[in-house]
Amino acid sequence: MDPGRHLQPYEALLEELGATAAAVIDTHMHADYLSGARAAAARWQVPYFVHPEDARSPYDDAAGRFAHQPLTEGDTIALGRATLVAAHVPGHTLGSTALIADETLALTGDFLFVRSVGRPDLGGQSDAWAERLWDGLERVRRQWPGDLLVLPAHYASEAERRADRSVAARFDVIAATNEAMAIQDPRAFLSWVTAHTTTPPDAYRTIKLVNLGLLDVTEAEAETLEVGPNVCAIG
């Protein structure tokens, strides 16, 4: 899920576990790094899943040029003895999707972090996407149990790591300590988003277009695009 373009670490882990890849999933179309999902799916001969709303450019609605299978609300993917269920939670992107594993783990991508939420401005439609993000947060507040373990794609500081170094927290802990999650009024939330959203790196638009298959870059250009900190969270 959400693999980077260097596949060696994933292949080493598969070998160590004696496991075989069953699928490759992008929880959303990334803007902060170049996805290895297409290359991994081709190499391992497995399906690549992404939400159809993220298979198009948010800038001009151009269709992405890559093979994939649509992953939509309620879809399930079987992985060994585990089952992932897709929950569509747009806002960071239109197709942002969380994957719930056996009703115990929530793989949230860039939708929900331990201390923040995914920024809604990377597609050029900040206000509209912020409203979708609020709706997604309201949904999970209503539906997700407190003991659900949230595993986001990124972290901003060591304070978001657990004692075992994993980046995770129970949903009830996040609901109580995450500043964005604590806001109860939609207008206050939209104001908070506006006040805390910084200017994204110039490279983010280019990275998204590369991930959509709409732009090609050399290896040297890829290295340059990925230089710098991740800034997909608000704040």
**CATH number of the domain encompassing residue 128:** 3.60.15.10
Sole residue written with tokens 């075989």 = 20
Domain region containing 103: 8-225
User: Within a domain: residue 182?
Assistant: yes
**Cα–Cα distance, 204 to 124 (Å, whole number):** 11
Q: Which tokens go with 131?
A: 């409203």
Report yes or no on 177 lying in a domain: yes
Through-space distance between the first and last CA atoms of the chain, rounded to whole angstroms: 25
Q: What is the pLDDT of residue 34?
A: 97
Q: What is the pLDDT of residue 228?
A: 82
Q: What is the distance between the alpha carbons of residues 213 and 208, in angstroms, rounded to a whole number?
A: 9
Q: What is the pLDDT of residue 44?
A: 97
In a domain, 45, yes or no: yes
Mean pLDDT of all residues belonging to the chain: 95
- What is the distance, to the nearest Å, from the Cα of residue 36 to the centroid of all Cα atoms in its chain? 14
pLDDT score for 160: 81
Q: Is 53 a domain residue? A: yes
User: What pLDDT sits at residue 81?
Assistant: 87
- On whether residue 67 sits in a domain, the answer given is yes
Whether 133 is covered by a domain: the verdict is yes
Residue 233, domain member (yes or no) = no
Q: Which stretch of DSSP H or E encloses residue 134? A: helix 126-143
Are 222 and 5 spatial neighbours (Cβ–Cβ below 8 Å)? yes
Query: How many CB atoms lie under 10 A from the CB of residue 52?
Result: 15
Identify whether 188 is part of a domain.
yes
CA dihedral 89, 53, 126, 114 (to 10 degrees): 30
pLDDT confidence of residue 167: 87
With a cut of 70, which residues of the chain have pLDDT below it? none
Distance (Å, whole) CA 11 – CA 143: 35
Q: How many structural domains is the chain composed of?
A: 1
pLDDT given for residue 175 in this prediction:
95
